[in-house]
Chains A and B, each alone.
Chain A
Amino acid sequence: MLQRKYIEIAIGLFFVLLAVLLYGSADTVNQAVSKASTDSTSTYVNTLAIVLGIAASIELTMSILSSPTVIEFSKNPLKFTSLIFLLIAYVWGMEYIGFVLATLIFLPATMKMMGYESLIKSLIISAGITLFVYMLFQVGFEILLPEPTLFEGFLS
């Protein structure tokens, strides 16, 4: 239950600020290249900044004048936030326990969270997907998937 109006004002202010910061940020002098090179780069960046400034100001004005409405991010906030949490945990965990283990935990956990009933079936599906990705990427395409690093500390 968030007020759309205030979020839009905040976003609008952010973009106006971004435009201000961007303007002039590429004005440099560099002896390695010609003046036309550096000048044109700053012209390009400054043009982006100006257009952004104008568009963001219009947007900001419009959102200030708008009537307040409620914005809904998800019909099911619990599942929505759970998925965000699981994704972050999965990626974070993968750096420590490697692709295989992390995926074997992430898949059934996400399926459970999304309301999949049978635990056995979900484990089988998870193992299948993990095996498929492993075979295709690591064996077939020789892409080295993240390896476990957690136990290395004890080793060397």
Chain B
Amino acid sequence: MTTVADPLLSIRDLEVTFTTEEGPTTAVRGARFDVMAGETVAVVGESGSGKSTTAMAVIGLLAQNGRVSGGQVLVDGHDVATLGGAGMARMRGRVIGMVPQDPMSNLNPVARVGDQIVEALEDNGVARGGAARRRAVELLEEAGLPDAARRAGQYPHEFSGGMRQRALIAMGLSCRPRLLIADEPTSALDVTVQRTILDRLEALTTDLGTAVLLITHDLGLAAERAAKIVVMYRGEVVEVGPAAQLLTDPQHEYTRRLLAAAPSLASRRIQLARRLGATSAVGDDLLAMSAETPTDEKAAVDARAGEASTEHDDSPIVEVKDVSKVFSLRGSSLFSRGQRFTAVDGVSFQIPRGKTVAIVGESGSGKSTVARMMLDLIPPTSGEITFNGRAVGGTDRAAEVRFRRQVQPIFQDPYASLDPLYTIHRTIEEPLRAHRFGTAAERRDRVHALMADVALPLDLLGRYPAELSGGQRQRVAIARALALNPDLVVCDEAVSALDVIVQSQILHLLADLQHRLGLSYLFISHDLAVVRQIADHVCVMERGRIVEQGTVDDVFDRPQQEYTRVLLDAIPGRDLQLGLEAG
């Protein structure tokens, strides 16, 4: 038993260097923090901050080209670097366990789940044979997997994402390690599943007295789950402190930005502010911006809207009436009739002009299918979508071109939505060229104006998408979408793939563009916290149906459906003190 003063894990001025094509890169610089026995510590930071690299250095699983180039990792006072390969392998599993990020790729697809746990038990000499098999079932039960005895005999592909993550938790805890490293253990899962998994993990580690090193990008989640938070930024630890103190009294500038950006916290602040009648959270509520639109700008917006659509009135820009989409799946044998799968089932909603309607749901709820139908990329099986009073999806090429000018998409993954062979200039110019907009010089001016609109420097124009950061790419995608002055922009998880601070910048940009240009948004997201900030109306989708819709205030303050309540509860940081009550 270690004494109170001795930390279980002690990271002393850790430096990790990767050898890359461009020479050595330091990924972690002078990181320093401790984890006490039984304590939960969260490491928070954006992608590339070095948080995962630090965790990998602790368990000795850095990538081939990475090495600890300075400092020490002390486990129980012993320097991990002196252990060597075999000693390190002995330590893994028994002293330090790990729950990896992606449950889809971290189980061996050709071995039964139970056998994979038995393997871990036998390799570490915890149990063998029949005893190990019985133990594996117990562990799976412990991790909250129902019907564990039968499930242990199944293969990973028969498991859902949440079940796989439970199996990985069982595996990580199988040899009763004293420290468990959980690297974004739930970010690949649906929000409702996320919450139950984290609850289970917390209960288990508390019972067993296991210390947890939780790696996450979500400050709200970290504050909810950990006693102590380590904030990392560009390879350095910028702040360490108790969670409560960090939330109310952040010391470092980056922590403050992170606090301001985290959607879970921002949406919480809006809720709290509303309840308290305070106005301190107005900055988080992006809708508040449009209320403050100066009158001359509003006039400009109105003028523009008037020229764009002849029927400028209060009628909704989009009406979706009882739309369904049925996919036929390929049959199992050559002659069997293919199965039919109803992705969207009798969905109806409207998008008021100049407003944002969000569709929220978990994976498989059919929300993206609605977006694709709205974009006329796939036809609905039944029902009708009207845009500016005209039915969407005719065979008339001229009508299609007109529709496409007015409705533009922004997709989730900015890495995939730009043609890698096109320079930024060519990417943004393409829609102008395709619709024969002006002369080359006029098009160049327009491209420059669009770059300014999305706050990108002009020297990026000659670059290729691969040379831009994720946030920059998403700005390019937005500029391209705006090139033709659309009326409606369909944002399909447009900020989900971005880091929180970038996410918040893009959300601000979208809100700003909306009130300057009078845009209407259809905003598809799985993240209610983000929706809280940007949407006027919310439609909650579950298994192809809209189970609840209303104004964002109604849905968040007075949810009518159990499913909506579960989704709302899953936003991390439910019970956090954000320092607003006092103010």
Please determine whether chains A and B interact with each other in the same assembly. Answer: no
